Structure 1
Amino acid sequence: MPFQQSLLDLNDLFNFADFSTFTHNIPIEWVETALQLSSQATIWRRRLPADQVLWLVLGMAMFRDEPVHEVARRLNICAQGLASNDLLARSGITEARKRLGSEPVEWLFRQTAHTWGHERYTDDDWQGLQVFAVDGALLRTPDTPELRDHFGSGNTSTKRQTPFPMMRLVALMNVRSHVVVDAQLSPYRRSEMRLADSFLAQIPDHSITLFDKGFWSAHLMLSVSQQGTERHWLTLARKNAVSEEIEQYSPTDRLVRMKVSAHARKLNPNLPETWEVREVTYTEKGKQKVVFTSLPVSAYSETSIAKLYQERWEIELGFRDIKSSMQKNAVTLRSKKVELIYQEVWGLLLAYNVIRREASQAAEAFERSPSSIRFKPVCDYIAVQLVVMAAANPISGTGRRLKELRSGIGSLFLEAKTKTRPSRPRRVKISKTRYPVDYNAAPLK
C-alpha cells in the first residue's frame, strides 16, 4: 500500500493530536525533573505552561515548514484547549519559550540519549563490539547582530565573513540504530576535538568508535582506548603522518610508532612521548586509503577493518536526515535569540532520537535491522500521528496505539536490493549575497 494512502486511512480511523509516541518514550518523571530546571518557573498555571511549551519545542522540530503559532494550534498546545488566535497570542508563544529556556530541553535530551543510545538491537554488533561514530556539523542561524556576535562565522577566501552565523554541533552516534548518544553545541570558533573530548565517557565498554580524520589526536584516541574495557577506535590516517615501522603483519598491515607532539603533551602532561598504532592500507574505488586503529591483529582482520570504516558515513547520513528530512533543507534555523537557538536545536536532537528509537523498536518487532528503515517516511509518519491520534478512543490505550504505529512503520523498510545507498557527491549550497538579486530581471543579451 502506498505510504500516502496509509496516512489517509489513519486519518479515517483517528481524530487529532496526541503525544502518545513522545510520552511513551519519555517517562513523565524525566519531564518533571527537566521542567524544574526552567530559569523562570512560576507558581500559577499559565495559558501556555512549561510542560506544554516543551511539547511545542518538539513539535517545531517535526513541522519545520509551518509557523510556530500554527504548530501550537495544530497540536492543541494550550492549557484551556484549542490554541487558536483568540486564546493564545503569537507573542505569548515566544515569551513562553523564553521562560522555559534551553536547559530543560538539553537535560531531557541527555537523559534520553544516554539511555537509548546504548540499547542493543538485531544486527547491532560488529564482531562482538557496538559501533559508534563521532563527527561534527554546522547549522546556520538567522543573520542578526546578536547571533553573529555570539556564534561567529568563518572567513571566505576574500577575508569576508560567511553569509550566516554558524553553530557548531559535535555528536556521538550509535552507528547501527543512528540514535545520538551525546552531543555538544557551541559557537563556530570552538574546536571540534575539545567538544568531543567532553563526552568520551559516554562510550561504553566493548565498543569501536569511528572518527573522522579531523579528530586525529593522540590525546583523544588514547583517552578512548585507555579508559574502560575493550574500547577501540578507528580513523582515517592523516596525510604525511611520520611513523616508524615496528612490525609488519602483511604488505598492507603493520604496527607503527609515532611521536606525540610537544603541543599535545603540554596540554596533557600524562601523554607518552611516543605511541603505537596499527596501520591498515586498502583500496576503494581505485584509490588507496590508510586507516589507523587500536584493534589488535590477533582478533580483527585487515579486510574486516577496511569494510567497517565505510560505516563512518552513517553519522553523515544522520546529519543529512536532520537537515534535510526534519529541517526541510531550510537555509537557517528559525529562532532569532541565542537562548532560543539552543532550545530549538536541543529539541531537534531530542525529536530526532524519538523518531530513531521508535523506528528501531519497530525494526526489532519485525526482526529487522534499524538501519533498514527509511528515515524520512518514518519522520512523516510520526509527525502525522501527532496530529491524527489526538482524541483517539479512550479504550485504545498507549500500548495498542503504539502497536498500530509500529505496524505502519513496518511497511517502510528498505528493500534488500536497495539497502546500499547510492553515492551522492556533496554540493555547495547557494549562499546569501550582499547585493540585491532581482529574479524577475530580463536576461542579458
Structure 2
Amino acid sequence: MPFQQSLLDLGELFNFSDLSTFTHNIPIEWVESALTLSDKATIRRRRLPSDQVLWLVLGMAIFRDEPVHEVARRLNICAQGLASDSLLAKSGVTEARKRLGSQPIEWLFCQTGHQWGRERYTGDEWQGLQVFAVDGALFRTPDTPELREHFGSGNTSTKRQTPFPMMRLVALMNVRSHIVVDAQISPYRRSEMRLADAFLHQIPDNSVTLFDKGFWGANLLLNVSRQGKNRHWLIPERKNLVREELQRYGKNDRLVKMKVSPQARKKNPELPEYWEVREVSYKVKDGMKTVFTSLPVETYSAKAIAGLYQERWEIELGFRDIKSSMQHNAITLRSKKVELIYQEVWGLLLTYNVIRREASLAAIAFDRRPSEIRFKSVCQYIAVQLIVMAAANPVSGTGRRLSELRSGIGGLFLERRPRRTTPRTVKISKTRYPVDRKAAPLK
C-alpha cells in the first residue's frame, strides 16, 4: 500500500527506537516495571535489548503487512552504537522476542486498560453510569503441530478439525472510549464465562455492563452486582427460560423470578435458590426483543434500557478495528511459537489501547465523543506521526506537537448513520468434504 509504505519510509529519516516517544501515554516507570517480568533478564549488551524489543512488538501491530525483521530494520530497533540495518539477522529478531516473552507486554496492557478504561470524559456517561461491554472473539494461528496441540480448534459434525488452530479472546471494553479495560486469552476450548470471571472485579462502581447472551448465568451476573457499588448488568433473553412474574411495571416491563440451576449452586453454594430480575421487551423490525437487567425501575425507564442495549454493538466494532484495520484481515496471526503468539496478541491489545487513548484525547479537544473517531484512518496516522513528532524533538515541544497532531485529525470524525435495515447475509458454510481443486468446471 503506498500510504503505508510512505509511513514506513519515515524510518529512514527518524530514529524510532527512543521509548520516550510513549511517555505521554505510557509512563517510563510502567515500561521499567514491565521489563522486570522478563524470564530471561541479562546484563549482556545485546544488539536487541528488551526495551527495544518491546517497541518492536508494538511496531508489529502497526505494520502488519511487513515481515518482523523488516519492521525492526525500518524502525531502527537496535541499541545505539551497535551495528544494525542489513546485519540484523532474522533469527536474531526471533530470539530477542523469545527473551522478552509475553509477560511484560501483558502487564503493560493491563496497566493501560485499568488506568485509561476508567477515565471519564464529558458526555460519555449514560444517566450517570459508565457503560462497558463484555464479549469474545477468535484468532487463528498458523497450522503447526505445536500450535494445534496447545490451542486446539473447532470440530465439524464429522469430527474433522477446522483448518487452523484457534485462540479465544474475551474482553471488557469501555463502549464510549472503546478502550479495552481488561482481557483474557486462552486456547479455544476454554469457556468464555470462566475467562470473563477473571476480570469482573475490574468493572468500576457506578456502571452498567452489557453482555452477549452467551454469558447468561446467575453466578456471573450476580457477581457483577455484588462485587462493587451501584454496578448493574444488561443481557438479552435466552430461549426456553422458565420464569414467574412477580410484579408488572408496564405493558412490556415486569419483575420475574427464576430458579438458579443446581449445577450453579453446586459450584457456588452462596447462590440463592431463586433470583429476581427485571424483564424489558421492546419492538424491533421482525418482532419483539427481550432483555434482562438489574437496573431498578424507579430510576431507569424501559425505553431508555432498550436504547442502551444497542450500544453492545460497540465492542464488536472494537474487535473489527483490531482484525481489519490493524491486522488487515489476515487469515492468521504471524507468530509460530506458543509464547510468541501470546506476545503478539497482547501487543495488539496494547497498541490498540495506545491509539484509542490518543484518539480520545483528540476527540475531547474538538468537543466530540471518543467513539466518533474514524479508527481506520487514525490508526496509522496517530501511531506513526506521534512517534515521529516525539522522536524529532523528544525533550521539548511535545505539547505543541501533540496539539498539531490532534488538529490534523479534525476531519476524521464519523458521521453517525442509522442502523442498516437490510437483513444480514449468511456466509457460505464450510463443507465437510474435501475440495477437489482439479475437478472440471460445471457445464
Q: Same fold (TM over 0.5)?
A: yes
What residue is the counterpart of 2:424 in the other structure? 425
Give me the whole-angstrom Cα distance separating, in 2, the residues matched to 1:45 and 1:428. 52
What residue is the counterpart of 1:42 in the other structure? 42
Give me the whole-angstrom Cα distance separating, in 2, the residues matched to 1:368 and 1:189. 41
Give me the whole-angstrom Cα distance separating, in 1, the residues matched to 2:152 and 2:399. 46
Distance 1:395 1:58, change over 3 A: closer
Q: Does 1:54 align with 2:54?
A: yes
Matches for 1:176-215 after TM superposition, within 5 Å: 176-215=176-215
Give me the whole-angstrom Cα distance separating, in 2, the residues matched to 1:99 and 1:296. 52
- The answer to whether the 8 A contact 2:169-2:186 is kept is yes
Give me the whole-angstrom Cα distance separating, in 1, the residues matched to 2:57 and 2:221. 36
Q: Does 1:23 align with 2:15?
A: no
Aligned length: 434
Distance 1:400 1:20, change over 3 A: farther
What residue is the counterpart of 2:236 in the other structure? 236
- The answer to whether the 8 A contact 1:172-1:182 is kept is yes
What residue is the counterpart of 2:324 in the other structure? 324
- The answer to whether the 8 A contact 2:355-2:383 is kept is no
- Alpha-carbon shift at residue 387 of structure 1 (Å): 6.7
Matches for 1:36-435 after TM superposition, within 5 Å: 36-80=36-80, 83-86=84-87, 88-385=88-385, 388-389=388-389, 391-393=391-393, 397-415=397-415, 418-420=416-418, 422=420, 425=424, 428=427
Give me the whole-angstrom Cα distance separating, in 1, the residues matched to 2:130 and 2:432. 45
Give me the whole-angstrom Cα distance separating, in 1, the residues matched to 2:178 and 2:83. 35
Distance 1:427 1:343, change over 3 A: farther
Give me the whole-angstrom Cα distance separating, in 2, the residues matched to 1:115 and 1:132. 15
Q: Which stretch of the first structure deviates more once superposed, 126-135 or 75-84?
A: 75-84
In the alignment, residue 84 of structure 1 is paired with which amino acid?
A: D
Give me the whole-angstrom Cα distance separating, in 2, the residues matched to 1:40 and 1:122. 44
- The answer to whether the 8 A contact 1:141-1:333 is kept is yes
- The answer to whether the 8 A contact 1:40-1:99 is kept is yes
Q: Which stretch of the first structure deviates more once superposed, 382-391 or 327-336?
A: 382-391
Q: Which stretch of the first structure deviates more once superposed, 273-282 or 283-292?
A: 283-292
Deviations 1:81-103, CA, capped at 9 Å, x for gaps: 674122x1110000000000001
- The answer to whether the 8 A contact 2:37-2:104 is kept is yes
Give me the whole-angstrom Cα distance separating, in 2, the residues matched to 1:342 and 1:265. 34
Give me the whole-angstrom Cα distance separating, in 2, the residues matched to 1:195 and 1:435. 34
Distance 1:99 1:376, change over 3 A: same
- Alpha-carbon shift at residue 302 of structure 1 (Å): 0.2
Distance 1:186 1:50, change over 3 A: same
Give me the whole-angstrom Cα distance separating, in 1, the residues matched to 2:432 and 2:73. 35
- The answer to whether the 8 A contact 2:156-2:432 is kept is no
Distance 1:185 1:426, change over 3 A: farther
Secondary structure of the 1:137 match is strand
Give me the whole-angstrom Cα distance separating, in 2, the residues matched to 1:436 and 1:240. 39
- Alpha-carbon shift at residue 435 of structure 1 (Å): 5.7
Secondary structure of the 1:85 match is helix
Distance 1:147 1:386, change over 3 A: farther
- The answer to whether the 8 A contact 1:163-1:431 is kept is no
Distance 1:376 1:132, change over 3 A: same
- Alpha-carbon shift at residue 149 of structure 1 (Å): 0.4
Distance 1:362 1:390, change over 3 A: closer
What is the TM-score of this pair, normalised by structure 2? 0.92
Give me the whole-angstrom Cα distance separating, in 1, the residues matched to 2:295 and 2:404. 43
- Alpha-carbon shift at residue 19 of structure 1 (Å): 5.7
- The answer to whether the 8 A contact 2:210-2:309 is kept is yes
- Alpha-carbon shift at residue 123 of structure 1 (Å): 1.9
Distance 1:260 1:357, change over 3 A: same
Distance 1:266 1:113, change over 3 A: same
- Alpha-carbon shift at residue 75 of structure 1 (Å): 1.1
- Alpha-carbon shift at residue 287 of structure 1 (Å): 2.2
Give me the whole-angstrom Cα distance separating, in 1, the residues matched to 2:50 and 2:111. 18
Give me the whole-angstrom Cα distance separating, in 2, the residues matched to 1:402 and 1:319. 27
Give me the whole-angstrom Cα distance separating, in 2, the residues matched to 1:20 and 1:238. 49
Give me the whole-angstrom Cα distance separating, in 1, the residues matched to 2:432 and 2:160. 11
In the alignment, residue 297 of structure 2 is paired with which amino acid?
A: V
Give me the whole-angstrom Cα distance separating, in 1, the residues matched to 2:417 and 2:27. 34
Secondary structure of the 1:270 match is coil
Secondary structure of the 2:392 match is coil
Deviations 1:385-436, CA, capped at 9 Å, x for gaps: 2674475256753222222221212221113xx3546579365489799968
Secondary structure of the 2:55 match is helix
In the alignment, residue 224 of structure 1 is paired with which amino acid?
A: V
Unaligned segments of structure 2, at least 5 residues: none
In the alignment, residue 29 of structure 1 is paired with which amino acid?
A: E
Distance 1:390 1:427, change over 3 A: farther
RMSD of the TM alignment (CA)?
Answer: 2.5
Distance 1:442 1:391, change over 3 A: farther
Distance 1:101 1:183, change over 3 A: same
Secondary structure of the 1:183 match is strand
Distance 1:191 1:394, change over 3 A: closer
Deviations 1:107-153, CA, capped at 9 Å, x for gaps: 11111110000001132100000000000011100110000000001
Deviations 1:173-211, CA, capped at 9 Å, x for gaps: 001000000000111111100110110000011000000
- The answer to whether the 8 A contact 2:243-2:258 is kept is yes
Give me the whole-angstrom Cα distance separating, in 2, the residues matched to 1:254 and 1:90. 63
Q: Which stretch of the first structure deviates more once superposed, 88-97 or 389-398?
A: 389-398
- The answer to whether the 8 A contact 2:278-2:295 is kept is yes
